[in-house]
Amino acid sequence: MVDAAMVAGALTTGVVDGAIQSVYVSNPEKWTNKFPFVGTVRPLPPVDDWIVLAVPAVAYAAGYFAKSAAAKSFGLGGLLYAGAMFVHHIIVDSVRLSGVKLSAGTSAPAPQSFRTRRMKLEQAVR
């Protein structure tokens, strides 16, 4: 059952993710390989995506231990957004690492900010 707290959690997590991404996009040269825009073991997403995933997980855990249905629901909504985003990044990066050539129309290109960030992280590691 979806309630207002769950929707608020998903929307809040999306806004936080967008705010973090906008910081990077505003000046990629300054933020590349600086916390939280640090790469991890591929195909796992960079640290900023882990932070976006961790915040609603903490909210859910706090609601669970405090026996607060609203806090649990808020955290679950955030996890629905962040978990899907996290899995999406893993799948897309795994396909890129595999070298599989997709035929036209089978996959939408990754957003420019993610693609640019990943390329800069790869260049810095080399």
Domain boundaries, the chain: 4-125
What global pTM score does this model have? 0.73
Burial of 56 from C-beta contacts in 10 A (0-12 / 13-18 / 19+):
buried
Q: What is the full per-residue pLDDT of the chain (126 aa) written as tens digits?
A: 789 999 999 999 999 999 999 999 999 899 988 998 888 888 889 999 999 999 999 999 999 999 999 999 999 999 999 999 999 999 988 888 887 766 655 555 555 556 666 666 677 666
Query: Cα(52)–Cα(19) distance, rounded to whole angstroms?
Result: 11
Lookup result for tokens 């906008």: 22
Three-class SS of residue 25? helix
Contact (Cβ atoms closer than 8 angstroms) between residue 49 and residue 14: no
